[in-house]
Amino acid sequence: ANGDPVIGVWATASRNAITVLNGNGTKTESGNSVQVSRLGNPLVNEVVIGLNQKDLFNASSPSGDGQFLSRVTDPILATYLNAFFPGLGGGSAPEHNRNDLVTVFLTGIRGINQPATLSAPGEELRLNTSIAPSSANPNAVNPLGVLGGQLDGFPNGRRLADDVVDIEVQAVLGILCQAGGPLAGPTPCRTGSVPDVGDGVRANDVPFQASFPYVADPHSP
């Protein structure tokens, strides 16, 4: 809006407040529609938000996400990664004051997908529409998105081939704020470099289509 090429999107799912499962296999729904889940950036509720706030997050909107700020600045996943994989990459994942993750999840990264005006932090999938795509073929892009040097990739929007799990794990480890990282500032957040780690699945099991609708054919009708 107002000439800003950055857009932010999020979606919700709602259901009736009361559902009665009848003995004949049918169900009866009544009451107001209640928001039960939301999604902007992938895996935020699963990875960033704590167990005691997951339902609250699902029922909230981005305008109220300031209440979850400490979950982002002090990510529990960093604590777990340090406990189970100590010294990964010759350093440890910083567990506190993670302003780099605030930009990834709540504000957008300056110069990439941060809006020109931002009234409050909010968890949305942000896309800078002025950045040209690296390729029209989803099979030809770097699955690490911005981390792989392609500014049109996640977390700037989300392409079919973007490996969001690997990107977010490496972000939590500190790849954006390590020495030489784009969000390092005068004081890097960790010693040692984050290795190229992930869940071991870097590509879709079936190649994407090179033209619309781009998604791969299903295994079964």
Asked if pLDDT for residue 1 goes beyond 80, the answer is no
Q: Is the pLDDT of residue 188 over 80?
A: yes
DSSP assignment of 28-83: EEEEEEEEEEEESSTTIIIIIS-GGGHHHHHT--GGGGGGGHHHHHS-HHHHHHHH
Backbone angles phi, psi at 79, to 5 degrees: -65, -45
pLDDT at 21: 94
More confident residue, 86 or 186: 86
Average per-residue pLDDT for the chain: 93
Q: CA 206 to CA 52: how far, in whole Å?
A: 37
pLDDT at res. 146: 96
Which amino acid is present at 118? L
Q: Is the pLDDT of residue 177 over 80?
A: yes
Q: What percent of the chain has pLDDT over 90?
A: 82
User: What does the domain layout of the chain look like in residue ranges?
Assistant: 6-15+29-173
Query: How many other C-beta atoms lie within 10 A of the C-beta of residue 51?
Result: 7
Question: Is the pLDDT confidence value at 47 over 90?
Answer: no
